[in-house]
Amino acid sequence: MYYEAINCATKTYPFLIKHENVKYIPHFHEETEIVYVIDGSVCATIESSSFVLNKGDICIFTPELIHNLYSYMPSKTFVMKLFPAINLKNLRLYNNVVTPTDESYDLLLQNINCIMAEDKEKAIGYELSVNICAEKILLTIIRNMKYIILEKSEQVKFENKGDFLNSVTSFLEQHYAEEFILEDAAKHLNYTKSYFCHHFKRITGVTFWKYYTIFRLEKSIQMMKKHPDKLYTEIAGASGFRNIRSFNQAFKEYHNCTPREYMKKYYSNHQP
């Protein structure tokens, strides 16, 4: 879990990316996220519920909803994050997955395909076309899909959970490049070590240490994007890994490729 600070949409244009074998740890963000499975299948989790997205499925994550995506087999996905005109923060869908047999599927897929084509070709006015399609997706959600608006008490529970996650993120933002023990993280939130571990796993579905490793990998990606000429040994040290070997091992374990291959595939960065 973490508040995702990379791969962000702007108020004027969505963040769009095609993934091969996507792997996102539990995280949350302000944008609405749309995931379209082009090929293969992807495991997804929302809060503590897990399910499988198959080829052709469309999944919708509303703002600040804790979720993840993980491919165990080869897959291709299109991920879109956008700031819609209407904030869906307190909206909860009865079913986050839209399959080809659902009534709203054709409308959603038509606009997703339009966005992918426009963003690829980048013809004159493509930004306007992408944003129009994005708003049509929002309109389809609020007109054609079943949902509830959270009661105030449920909003408070959700905000309390968000406060916990933000506190963990705040601690790691300060200390991710340092050595620390689990008691340090627990103390930051005024919890015992055992309660902190249990509460963290219950909310996110992963252990704190697994999350911490992947948090550092996300930080390394931010650094590589911002400083494309920096050596990977420097990136490894700055993101909290003891040496380049442990950095590469962790990167391959999570992303199934080296840091250099990852940046070339997704960001076309030339690295030293």
Concatenating the DSSP letter of every residue in 55-88 gives TT-EEEE-TT--EEEE-SS--EEEEEEE--SS--
Pairwise CA distance, residues 204 & 70, whole Å: 14
Pairwise CA distance, residues 21 & 19, whole Å: 6
Pairwise CA distance, residues 112 & 78, whole Å: 9
CA distances from 49 to 29, 96, 99, 203, 208 (A): 18, 11, 18, 11, 19
Please count the CA atoms within 13 angstroms of the CA of 78 that sit on its side-chain side: 18
Q: How confident is the model at residue 269 (pLDDT cuts 50, 70, 90)?
A: very low
| SS3 state of residue 24 | strand
The answer to whether the CB of 141 falls within 8 A of the CB of 60 is: yes
Would you say how long the chain is, in residues?
272
**Architecture of the domain made up of 172-266:** Orthogonal Bundle (1.10)
Q: How confident is the model at residue 253 (pLDDT cuts 50, 70, 90)?
A: confident
Q: How confident is the model at residue 59 (pLDDT cuts 50, 70, 90)?
A: very high
pLDDT tens sequence across 88-125: 878 889 999 999 999 999 999 999 999 999 999 999 99
Mean pLDDT value across residues 197-202: 84
On the question of pLDDT at 270 being above 50, the answer is no
Which one has a higher pLDDT value, 222 or 111? 111
Note the pLDDT of residue 271. Answer: 41
On the question of pLDDT at 158 being above 70, the answer is no
CA distances from 257 to 21, 60, 135, 270 (A): 11, 28, 35, 16
Domain ranges of the chain: 15-149, 172-266
On the question of pLDDT at 272 being above 70, the answer is no
Residues 6+ apart with CB under 8 A from 238: 177, 220, 223
Which one has a higher pLDDT value, 128 or 163? 128
Pairwise CA distance, residues 48 & 222, whole Å: 28
Note the pLDDT of residue 168. Answer: 87
| SS3 state of residue 42 | strand
Note the pLDDT of residue 107. Answer: 96
* pTM of the entire predicted model: 0.71
Q: Where are any strands of DSSP class E within the chain?
A: 15-20, 23-27, 32-39, 41-46, 49-54, 58-61, 67-70, 76-82, 91-93, 97-98, 147-149
Mean pLDDT value across residues 122-144: 94
Note the pLDDT of residue 264. Answer: 80
On the question of pLDDT at 14 being above 70, the answer is yes
Name the phi and psi angles at 38, rounded to 5.
-75, -40
| SS3 state of residue 142 | helix
Note the pLDDT of residue 235. Answer: 94
Max mean pLDDT range (158-162, 199-203, 226-230): 226-230
The answer to whether the CB of 188 falls within 8 A of the CB of 171 is: yes
Mean pLDDT value across residues 226-234: 90
CATH superfamily of 15-149: Regulatory protein AraC (2.60.120.280)
Mean pLDDT value across residues 39-60: 91
Pairwise CA distance, residues 126 & 239, whole Å: 37
Q: How confident is the model at residue 256 (pLDDT cuts 50, 70, 90)?
A: confident
Kindly report the average pLDDT of the chain as a whole number.
86
Q: Residue for token digits 């997205």? A: 53
Mean pLDDT value across residues 68-83: 90
Note the pLDDT of residue 132. Answer: 95
Mean pLDDT value across residues 200-206: 78
- Among residues 88, 46, 91, the alpha carbon closest in space to that of 69 is found at 46
DSSP state of 4: -
